[in-house]
Structure 1
Amino acid sequence: MAKALKTGTEARAIQRTARQSPYKMRLVIDQIRGQRVNDALAILKFSKKGAAKQIEKTLASAVANAEQAARAANTSLDVDALVITKAIVNEGPKLKRWMPAAMGRATPIAKRTSHIEIIVAEAVR
């Protein structure tokens, strides 16, 4: 599912092998890059794209990781001040399938997967 790595005032969440093509995921993630977390969650909640649900889960995980890091460091964290500093979608492994074709042949089908990485940090005021 989502792995977490915390460094300083930022937190990160990664989701590996999400079963949707990177192209479709990037259409959604481009809309939230650089946004405040609350604004990004609102965009994702009302998006008609299927990729928005997976990205919303990963973003929620990144926010939870930031809260956990702040709690572990015994510092205060304003969740409303969190900003998405980095949001990328990379290509994951392809599931290779075959479909019957004419005259006994077979044509390959590549079912694509994605790796989602979101990093959130507190905005500097």
Structure 2
Amino acid sequence: MSRKVMSKVELEERREELIAAHKAETRRNQKTASLSKKERKYLGIGRDEGRATVRHLRMNSKKVNLLTGLIRGKSLQDALAIVEYSSNAAAQPIKKLLDSAAANAVNNNGLNPERLYVAEINATEGPTMKRIRPRAKGAASWILKRSSHINVVLRESEEEA
């Protein structure tokens, strides 16, 4: 079942309605109105942010979330300072991720780097590699080598930084 992609004329006629429907808050079990990539690009949705993702990071997501909770909602400069002086093992990958998201925001969308803040950052569980550790009397136990995926979204703050 394929969805009809709207023409530019239809998009222009329904512009305000589509943008409002796309940004509307929904309950967790409701599906948001989905637009195709071409429709989002034409309407300019997503041009106000910089995104970056790292996948399959060989680190437990619980350990990564300790650091992501500290920088969520902070300005980009504050977040980079926190990460720079953190002893958490996830600090270096998160610093690279923040730099990448900032570069995407500035180069792709023309945002002001001084006004960027960490709007969203989360670490989710990635695939787990299972290994075996031999034990006494011929038994074996599992070693779970966990990994995580980290997503970050930077947006421009409304007030002057």
Equivalent position of 2:36 in the other structure: none
> Partner letter of residue 42 of structure 1?
A
Instruction: Give CA-to-partner distance per residue, 1:47-88, whole Å, 9 cap, x none.
Output: 0111111111111110011012134xxxxx320100110000
Structure 2, gaps ≥5 residues long: 1-44
CA distance in 2 between partners of 1:70 and 1:120 (Å): 11
- Counterpart secondary structure, 1:117: strand
In structure 2, the residue matched to 1:50 is 89
Runs of 4+ aligned residues of structure 1 deviating over 6 Å after TM superposition are none
Partner of 2:15: none
What's the CA shift string for 1:69-122, capped at 9, x where partnerless? Answer: 134xxxxx3201001100000000001111011111110111000100000010
8 Å CA contact 2:47–2:109 kept in 1: the answer is no
Where do 5+ consecutive residues of structure 1 fail to align? 1-5, 72-76
Q: Which has the higher strand share?
A: 1
TM-score by length of 2: 0.69
User: How far has the Cα of 1:8 moved from its partner?
Assistant: 1.5
Q: Provide the TM-score with structure 1 as the length reference.
A: 0.88
Counterpart Cα distance in 1 of 2:152 and 2:79: 12
Match of 2:108 in 1: 69
Corresponding residue number in structure 2 for 1:74: none
Partner secondary structure for residue 7 of structure 1: coil
| C-alpha distance in structure 1 between counterparts of 2:126 and 2:82, whole Å | 25
Residue from 11, 33, 37 that aligns with 2:72: 33
Aligned counterpart in structure 1 of residue 135 of structure 2, from 93, 101, 105: 101
Once superposed, what is the RMSD of the aligned Cα atoms? 1.1
1:11 aligned onto 2:56: no
CA distance in 2: counterparts of 1:70 and 1:94, whole angstroms: 35
Larger Rg: 2
**Counterpart-to-counterpart distance in 1, 2:66 and 2:132:** 28
Which residue is 2:124 aligned to?
90
2:145 to 89, 111, 118: 111
